[in-house]
Amino acid sequence: MANTVQARKRARQSLARRANNFAYRTEFRTAVKKVLKAVLGGDKAVAQTEFVQAQSTIDKIARKGIFHKNKASRHKSRLSAKIKAMVATQQ
């Protein structure tokens, strides 16, 4: 247990930060799942709409430093590629 006032405060801050980061990660996973579900469903318009929202979420998480910017970019790129591949197979 923390013995100093400073250490107790840091412990409180760490718990709050951990809870916030967990919420952001959950938001990220949900956004990605929505895009993948739309891609598997074969609905191009819904997939693109969900992708735009997912991009915003992914960028926000990278901006806050929860994910590295390259990881965020990789996820966006892969989602985009899946949407483009889905469109190519429909034509």
pLDDT value for 1:
76
Q: Where are the domains of the chain?
A: 5-90
**79: nearest Cα among 39, 45, 46:** 39
Convert the pLDDT of each residue in 23-72 to its tens digit. Answer: 999 999 999 999 999 999 998 999 999 999 999 999 999 999 999 999 99
Distances (CA, A) of 6 to 2, 3, 18, 40, 43: 8, 8, 18, 51, 53
Query: pTM score > 0.75 for this model?
Result: yes
Whether CATH 1.20.58.110 fits 5-90: yes
Residues in the chain, how many? 91
